[in-house]
Structure 1
């Protein structure tokens, strides 16, 4: 134990934090049991959230980074991992959806009361001007705030100051964005659009082929851009941002369960983006199987926002909030999405505690804090206007064969690039492009 403590200290890590991490795991296990006594599905939501948070933090994986990282560093390791994640999840979801459809299930958009729904088709959203505007606003906001929805939750658990500021404003913007989407949908302009589930038009085989072709195009664009940055001399090595303690140990001793080398390998060494992508795909499918719905984040933010604003005396009489109020009245801890988001925060916290690296980071100026708040607010409004964020409106839409996901991807990417260009050097988390 003394050698273990010494090794932690030599790397600048806290040797006491893993103990706290283990205690927290035990508390979460008890919480899962308690939640299961009120609603049988809630422990699965909590487990999925903890796993997502742990994987996101351990692999330093982020959906916003798919745009930001390649723009700033010129290398597309995260972007390519995201493409892989989309492909793997799509193939896994394919079997589930085909089986459901073969047994008489129908898409959520045409299902009548009592009919079985093809899991994941709840993310086949109607695509209109709100989807495009919301995606663009969200793209700008995630650059100012330093992360997307899942990334903000993970960073919050890691003690990152930008997320601690951005998250409350993200939640605050959710209800107004939700209302705006309703207003637009009810207008004549909002009724112009489409709602396309690819298997309905080209079958499951055709849907897979189209999705793979589009992912192949994204991969080709990423490679071409990397080559361009290499020629310009502005390409960074994919692993050049690894902390020293995250890297594999040199001259590691033979495998021993009680050695620091073994602990470092299991709990401190950084996972690759590819590892993160594959594990996140597996957990996403776990969510699809256990909940019959795809992974989402920001719907729960709307529930939380309405809950808090009601406590402050606000009323919500618009028909836009009927389903939200049902969840609020049932109680926050009965909402699976809220439980999963809480689990994600704790999963990220556990990852840092087990590694002995947790600490609060508020190394930024006051004006940066204002940008973080504005970014969070924009993400809240944009995500609910688009009926989802990088997860619900993009990842879970594309992998469940919704054409809306591709439209959101384009809008979000354009917004992200505009945000990076417009605020380069003006906020601490967006450096000048070299």
Structure 2
């Protein structure tokens, strides 16, 4: 006679098994009591003032930029707003994903990275391979030189992420969502960028070899295949490590259900990865360059120095033709500044709609010191490496550039060092079961 498992009821003993099932099979068959899923926490009331100010700010600024500088900058600002909205709702983490993997073996965040990177590589291949661009811009891949500056910069950035508590994109969306502590990290980020540009002659000629683009050797199709194969291997490795070290954490249920979840609740990491990839590809299509963040911090710092009467335009770094043009132009025409401002506004809109926007106070000196040091290290590291977790890691791997993969390796090493440096500031490290975001 063949036993057929039947649905259990509240009165069924979970140790019961059919009499003709072997003990080995009984372990697989054994039913469990039906446990109701955890109830979603009640959503916080909408914070109308932050929501209204941020929404009107985003739309009003986009209209102003359109009237003063044209459609392209306005579109970039709106795309940045979408990026900030997505980053907030998905809590898409770069800093936390690497920390969780190294500290407790939880690879959930890195597998979400693989989805983001793979989707970005797919869309970039279509855009770059066909030369599809808007506003008269021809899209170009993100490829950086490989050398001492890349390795040292990525390593410093990895340390800085763990001390500062956020990466480049995370810093911006945290500022937008009202997390006042992260303003210290942002300030340090800008200071570190200025330090780099002031000291640029000392590091400008560090040993390096030219960029390596896979598409130059195996074509765009081959580049895509190699990238996706490497990402699949990443998924397999992180899953194997996680299975040996720690079970995946059980995530909290979203605070809103149905369509309301889009604006009021949390998004699955994979949904955030897909939306970020689409918006990042849109930035490439309309501007001709991949989504980036940290070069704008350098610009903001130089502009601030000019406001107080200093002359960074006389520095060797800002005397270069491209940098001189960037510094002479308005901030609201700079691609990365526009998307950065949009990220802050988009996160503020999302936090206001979700009811979570609020300013935090009472910072400890240890948190302030860690945020400042972490920000400075990220500012210097990002400029040395020619990009951050977005401009080098995401855009580089998405473009099929070897420097993006190498940036990830050295940033991961920096993350390991940063985890140990956190104890110097009295900061904790993750435990098994902690969230990846």
| TM-score interval, normalised by the smaller of the two chains | 0.7 to 0.9
Whether the 8 Å contact between 1:177 and 1:383 is mirrored in structure 2 is no
Inter-partner Cα distance in structure 2 for 1:236 and 1:72: 14
SS at match of 2:131: helix
SS at match of 1:228: helix
Inter-partner Cα distance in structure 2 for 1:238 and 1:385: 38
**Kindly tell me: are residues 368 and 287 of structure 1, through their superposed partners in 2, closer, same or farther at Cα, counting changes over 3 Å?**
same
Cross-structure match for 2:226:
210
Counting only pairs closer than 5 Å after superposition, residues 11-90 of structure 1 correspond to structure 2 as 11=42, 13-15=44-46, 17-18=47-48, 20-40=50-70, 41-72=72-103, 74-90=105-121
Write out per-residue CA displacement over residues 189-218 of structure 1, whole angstroms, 9 at most, x where no aligned residue. x24323111111122222122212221222
Whether the 8 Å contact between 1:130 and 1:181 is mirrored in structure 2 is no
Cross-structure match for 2:140:
120
Cross-structure match for 1:97:
128
TM-score by length of structure 1 reads: 0.83
Write out per-residue CA displacement over residues 228-281 of structure 1, whole angstroms, 9 at most, x where no aligned residue. 213xxxx45141xx3x6x3455xxxxxxxxxxx764x33222100000000000
Whether the 8 Å contact between 1:181 and 1:384 is mirrored in structure 2 is no
Cross-structure match for 2:3:
none
Cross-structure match for 2:28:
none
Cross-structure match for 1:221:
237
User: Which residue, 279, 283, 287 being the options, matches 1:283?
Assistant: 279
Cross-structure match for 1:309:
305
Cross-structure match for 1:148:
167
Write out per-residue CA displacement over residues 145-179 of structure 1, whole angstroms, 9 at most, x where no aligned residue. 01100100111111223311110110111122245
- Structure 1 residue ranges without an equivalent (≥5): 1-9, 104-115, 250-260
Inter-partner Cα distance in structure 2 for 1:397 and 1:427: 34
- Structure 2 residue ranges without an equivalent (≥5): 1-40
Cross-structure match for 1:321:
318
**Kindly tell me: are residues 152 and 67 of structure 1, through their superposed partners in 2, closer, same or farther at Cα, counting changes over 3 Å?**
same
Inter-partner Cα distance in structure 2 for 1:299 and 1:192: 20
Counting only pairs closer than 5 Å after superposition, residues 169-248 of structure 1 correspond to structure 2 as 169-180=188-199, 183-186=202-205, 190-230=206-246, 235-239=247-251, 242=252, 246-247=254-255
**Kindly tell me: are residues 290 and 412 of structure 1, through their superposed partners in 2, closer, same or farther at Cα, counting changes over 3 Å?**
same
Cross-structure match for 2:379:
380
SS at match of 1:293: coil
Inter-partner Cα distance in structure 1 for 2:281 and 2:189: 26
Inter-partner Cα distance in structure 1 for 2:138 and 2:417: 37
Cross-structure match for 1:6:
none
| Aligned length, in residue pairs | 387
Write out per-residue CA displacement over residues 14-59 of structure 1, whole angstroms, 9 at most, x where no aligned residue. 34x1464145323321221111112111111110111010000001
**Kindly tell me: are residues 180 and 389 of structure 1, through their superposed partners in 2, closer, same or farther at Cα, counting changes over 3 Å?**
farther
Whether the 8 Å contact between 1:296 and 1:392 is mirrored in structure 2 is yes
RMSD: 2.4
**Kindly tell me: are residues 22 and 429 of structure 1, through their superposed partners in 2, closer, same or farther at Cα, counting changes over 3 Å?**
farther
TM-score by length of structure 2 reads: 0.82
Write out per-residue CA displacement over residues 374-422 of structure 1, whole angstroms, 9 at most, x where no aligned residue. 0001000000010110000110011011111011110101001111133
**Kindly tell me: are residues 238 and 380 of structure 1, through their superposed partners in 2, closer, same or farther at Cα, counting changes over 3 Å?**
farther
Whether the 8 Å contact between 2:393 and 2:408 is mirrored in structure 1 is yes
Cross-structure match for 1:112:
none
Rg comparison, structure with higher value: 2
Report the CA distance between 1:310 and its aligned residue.
2.3
Inter-partner Cα distance in structure 2 for 1:303 and 1:120: 22
Inter-partner Cα distance in structure 2 for 1:80 and 1:376: 26
Whether the 8 Å contact between 1:207 and 1:401 is mirrored in structure 2 is yes
Is 1:157 matched with 2:176?
yes
